[in-house]
Structure 1
Amino acid sequence: MADLIPPTGRVHWVGTGRSTGSGLGLVCDGASTVLWGRTVDRAESCLRRLDLLGRAEPRAFTPAALAGELAPGDVLVSMLPAGEHPALAELALAGSAHLVCSSYVSPALAAHGKRAAELGTVLLTETGLDPGIDHLLAHQLVRAARQVTGDRPASVRFGSYCGSNPAVPNDFRYRFSWAPRGVLTALLTPARLIEDGVPRTVDRAWEAVTSHTVAGETFEVYPNRDSLPFIATYGLPATWRLESFVRGTLRLDGWHEAWKPVFAELAEADEAGVTALAERLVAQHPTAEGDRDRVVMAVRLELRTDDGQPWAGEWTIDAVGDARESATSRLVSVPLAGGVLEVAAGRVPPGLHQATDDPEAVPRWLAFLAEHGITATFHGDGGA
């Protein structure tokens, strides 16, 4: 691994969509910031919406224009769709710049990790809400459990769920807080988890919906994506036998029943049909001016050692949007800003990272979130 290319303190934030929220202001407070939108007007409109006019330089984004301004050690932030991250990673590596994004590591993005380490640049991924905050809370739970039980053989259950839903439930039991087509596509993506001690694949997420209680309230949950790689990400000891391990999505109670017609159509839809269905659902269930979103996250770990010692802990977050900003936007953009500022301060080593697993950094990242109004509540044995 090469030495870290010293950060310059200049940040290029690419994207002005729904998830670009108040976290952008935190980046502006800590670094010289350029906001890249489709046009200068779009960038200025985003800055005006966030009351940040004059605090970041607006630009019209093209890869060539960005490459012309990117200097070695600058930090590039991608808020574009996940499929566009690899191209931005290539641009960052070509310019010896660092890259930060909130999305999952794709194979194409992961392929750049070795080169980043060799160059001395950072590829910091999964630094938003989910993935992002959930990683930090999972690391805290594993650390707390190991402090009590050590790495003694144990039977273990782990579950991490998150969802953005209407603060006031509607008949549809949902409101689109991010790209509608992405919501439907995610439902069609097979999921892998551990259940009853063995790996299981779920082809259609809606066929694996179960009830789940968070702080006394009943929700519905289902597995999302491939949970199994996160066993290593969270550093679970090899002596822990996993009875269950799942990362998934949380919905309001009654969601599965309300969405049955959607599932029936989705099961038969081709690419064009998914797009048409997404457009129709948004038109049928529009978001009104006074609507607010609610984000609920619950990350739980419970175990029992072979000699009979139990331990259980759960972190929960329950946040509602306000007139200024949705909860989803805030809970994505603020942790992202924290990651950006960590990179800009030179505290992240070169190479590919999923948020952080540094035992010293995790509490610092959580303290940053708490300082900016994002707090998690711990329930369980002995604190975390």
Structure 2
Amino acid sequence: MGKKSILILGAGRSSSALISYLLEKANNGNWHVTVGDFFEQAAKDRVGSSGNGTAIRFNIEEEEASAQAIQAADIVISLLPAAFHPRVAKLCLYHKKHLFTASYISDEMKSFHEEAKQKDLLFMNECGLDPGIDHMTAMEVMDRIRDEGGKMISFESFAGGLIAPTTDPSNPWRYKFTWNPRNIVIAGQGTAKFIQEGQYKFIPYQQLFQRTTYVHIPGYGDFEGYANRDSLKYISNYKLDDVKTMLRGTLRNKGFCSAWNILGQLGCTDDSYPMERVDQMTHREFLNTFLPYDKVMMLEDKLMNRFKLDQDGPEMERLRWSGLFEREPIGLNSGTPAQVLEHILNKKWKLEPTDKDMVVMWHRFIYSMKGETREIQSHLVALGDDSIQTAMAKGVGLPLAIGTRLFIEGKIKDRGVAMPLSKEVYRPILDELRHFGISMQERNVVDEQA
């Protein structure tokens, strides 16, 4: 068999572990890795001195060059923003190339299923951390429950990318950007849909960060979680047609959501229109544009009045620490509110070289077995090494890398648009992830209470 060519699109925050793994195993695996990024130097930095890798400039807007790069590959791994995946997928269909991503399956991506299947192509999506490891660890337990004769009643799952407890102790948010900042700023927009105790629930964006739930992670304490956009679509994927509760959500440290709710309620996370005079605006003026004019009342007073806040309360502390009250120029020529907010927050929320991030995941399974109702809780905590080899990069990149290796070795038979839900896919990926210190710890809650 000739040497395979793997094309990785994107050399950003989440790419380090993926690229390192595939370069390291290239000789034994008999493949070559090409890394493409809009900034060619970023791709070169990721490839380093490896003789098994090549760095190129890649811009999806340059159609001819994009087509040539994809045509030269056997497998494409896209770490581009999710909005670009369908364009990559169309080129993969045309040139008959396999595709792996860590992103949610959009309706457009789903529409490629039959054609990909007919062409004997695999378009593996949702094979990162969240989505990805969450699916695989959930299916591992649920398949075991069903194989033993049990029936699922309820499933809840929360995950989040945070900073390690020892990182930046003065940061009251306990948060920094560990993956695409834009996705974080606009997260939660759109109505969250889930089912709880047999009742369908819908939470509009303006209520999302007010309706949180607490999740306890042994050894790390309590976190707060808010609902993801669409938990309902996973009912059929997980084979949970009769389930009473199905809820997937995002974890943050306690206190995050009440402060973020203020920014959302003001309109700072709106990405639908460009703001005027951004190039002449300070941080303080940006925040003030979303509050009523008052020739006497200061910005802080208007905020406290509008949201019933205490001057020394946790919400004001977080906003103050973020620099939002400063008279510092924003430093952007133009932008939507969300883009401006991202730019301001990045000044404080950017990982410093020695910072370590933390990935947290938690599942709760309630099921019936032999006439009894039982409960399993499982959790995962992974810490990053530094600002490059982050827990987020490992969580996103390693499942993609392992899945790609398994596919090249002929161990994944799925075709069409797929997710890592079958035993042949999730078992070997999870087994190898354990060697990297990424694994769920299970506890049987019924036994604990007995």
Aligned partner letter, 1:342: L
Aligned to 1:353: 418
Percentage of pairs with the same residue: 28
User: How many residues are matched?
Assistant: 367
SS state of the match for residue 19, structure 1? coil
CA distance in 2, matches of 1:108, 1:331: 26
TM-score between the two structures when normalised by the length of structure 2: 0.76
SS state of the match for residue 231, structure 2? coil
Aligned to 1:209: 212
Aligned to 1:135: 135
How big is the shift at 1:366?
Answer: 0.8
Aligned to 1:311: 374
Is the CA contact 2:209–2:258 (under 8 Å) kept in the aligned structure 1?
no
Aligned partner letter, 1:316: H
Aligned to 1:167: 164
CA displacement, residues 255-312 of structure 1 (integer Å, 9 cap, x when unaligned):
123434323323784531122122222224443332211110012211236x731222
Structure 1 residues 108, 7: closer, same or farther in 2, change over 3 A? Answer: farther
Does 1:322 pair with 2:323? Answer: no
CA distance in 2, matches of 1:342, 1:381: 35
Does 1:61 pair with 2:124? Answer: no
CA distance in 1, matches of 2:439, 2:337: 40
**Larger relative CO (CA 8 A, sep 6+): 1 or 2?**
1
CA distance in 1, matches of 2:180, 2:425: 32
Structure 1 residues 34, 288: closer, same or farther in 2, change over 3 A? Answer: closer
CA distance in 2, matches of 1:150, 1:209: 30
Matched ranges for 1:131-210 at <5 A: 131-151=131-151, 156-168=153-165, 170-204=171-205, 205-210=208-213
SS state of the match for residue 178, structure 1? coil
CA distance in 2, matches of 1:345, 1:354: 18
SS state of the match for residue 224, structure 2? strand
Is the CA contact 2:89–2:109 (under 8 Å) kept in the aligned structure 1?
yes
Is the CA contact 2:263–2:269 (under 8 Å) kept in the aligned structure 1?
no
Is the CA contact 1:173–1:258 (under 8 Å) kept in the aligned structure 2?
no
More strand by share: 1
Matched ranges for 1:39-78 at <5 A: 39-48=39-48, 53-62=50-59, 63-71=63-71, 74-78=74-78
Matched ranges for 1:1-384 at <5 A: 9-28=4-23, 29=25, 30=29, 31-48=31-48, 53-62=50-59, 63-71=63-71, 74-151=74-151, 156-168=153-165, 170-204=171-205, 205-215=208-218, 217-236=221-240, 238=241, 240=242, 242-266=243-267, 269=270, 271=272, 272-304=336-368, 308-323=371-386, 325-346=389-410, 347-355=412-420, 357-380=421-444
Aligned partner letter, 1:181: R
Structure 1 residues 126, 34: closer, same or farther in 2, change over 3 A? Answer: same
SS state of the match for residue 207, structure 1? coil
CA distance in 2, matches of 1:46, 1:359: 32
Gaps of 5+ in 2: 273-335
CA distance in 2, matches of 1:184, 1:380: 36
Structure 1 residues 219, 382: closer, same or farther in 2, change over 3 A? Answer: closer
Is the CA contact 2:5–2:72 (under 8 Å) kept in the aligned structure 1?
no
Structure 1 residues 268, 172: closer, same or farther in 2, change over 3 A? Answer: closer
SS state of the match for residue 183, structure 1? helix
How big is the shift at 1:371?
Answer: 2.6
CA distance in 2, matches of 1:75, 1:90: 14
SS state of the match for residue 188, structure 2? helix
Is the CA contact 2:269–2:341 (under 8 Å) kept in the aligned structure 1?
no
CA distance in 2, matches of 1:381, 1:257: 30
How big is the shift at 1:93?
Answer: 0.8
CA distance in 2, matches of 1:32, 1:268: 41
How big is the shift at 1:365?
Answer: 1.6
SS state of the match for residue 423, structure 2? coil
Is the CA contact 1:44–1:53 (under 8 Å) kept in the aligned structure 2?
no
Structure 1 residues 39, 54: closer, same or farther in 2, change over 3 A? Answer: farther
How big is the shift at 1:135?
Answer: 0.6
TM-score between the two structures when normalised by the length of structure 1: 0.88
Structure 1 residues 342, 348: closer, same or farther in 2, change over 3 A? Answer: farther
SS state of the match for residue 186, structure 1? coil
How big is the shift at 1:173?
Answer: 2.9
Moved more, 328-337 or 196-205: 196-205
CA distance in 1, matches of 2:268, 2:343: 17
CA distance in 2, matches of 1:289, 1:371: 25
